[in-house]
Structure 1
Amino acid sequence: MVTPWIHNGSLTTYLEHHFIELTLEQKLRILRQVAAALNYLHSKGVVHGDLTANNILIDSDCNAHVADHGILTMCSELSGTSYIRSNVRWAAPELFEVAENEEPSTPPQPASDIYSFGCIMLQVRGVPWQLC
């Protein structure tokens, strides 16, 4: 997979370097762009499955780009592993449910992405993770 170079890196990195100077309008613009990208993916039947601020890239014009969409779901289906990786802070609670009959875990749904988006909204707002 080849993608263009995104100058400002991930949203996590961008917030670390520019949080103080970002206006509310700029923060809302980023969140609107991420929401539009999620809406587009969901309208095509694609669930991101691993939406975190590390998978949102900010270009030189401060536009947000959602990356790695659907990669986690495809990899999990191929290898038969869990859908939850190291990004548990952003994972929806239903993804932690374990079936009693050891059936494969339920794949992420659009609602799982919306939960993750809510976590990103808190991060952009500046809420410390200890309060979440």
Structure 2
Amino acid sequence: MSDNEVPGLTPRTVAALLGAGEALAQQVRTKILHSPRPVFLYYIEQTFDALRTKLARGLDPHPDTPAEQLCLYLMVAYAARLTGSLDADLIRIHHALLADHDVLVEFGRVGGHPDPSYNFVALGDALTGHGMSSFFAPFETDGLVA
């Protein structure tokens, strides 16, 4: 198995997700220094990088935190928009992630932007202090966020 082969995902899907993760992390990087929430954005960037590392190592990108779940959802949506379609892998991942993040996704949507874009500062503003720490914390054993 090569570095980019992930069990259950085609090499095309892995490549699309890696590209989407890099593009989204780059969007975050460009805003960190000029943002009212640089620490929050730094952790978001690190979340995209952690997911990309899992994929590059051939590991299942199963999210361990709500932040990873949202970022993986955004990577799938970005990849689908750039490729013009959802292949079977992306559809499966998208459906698994969508239910828990409808509200969070709506907070950060950027309307009218030509590229798939997301406003993480708006998301950070919407989270309370406790909500922000829970966002980056591992899921509880019962599958619910603390």
What's the TM-score once normalised by structure 1's chain length? 0.30
Higher percent of residues as helix: 2
Q: Which has the larger radius of gyration?
A: 1
Q: More strand by proportion, 1 or 2?
A: 1
TM-score normalised to the size of structure 2?
A: 0.28
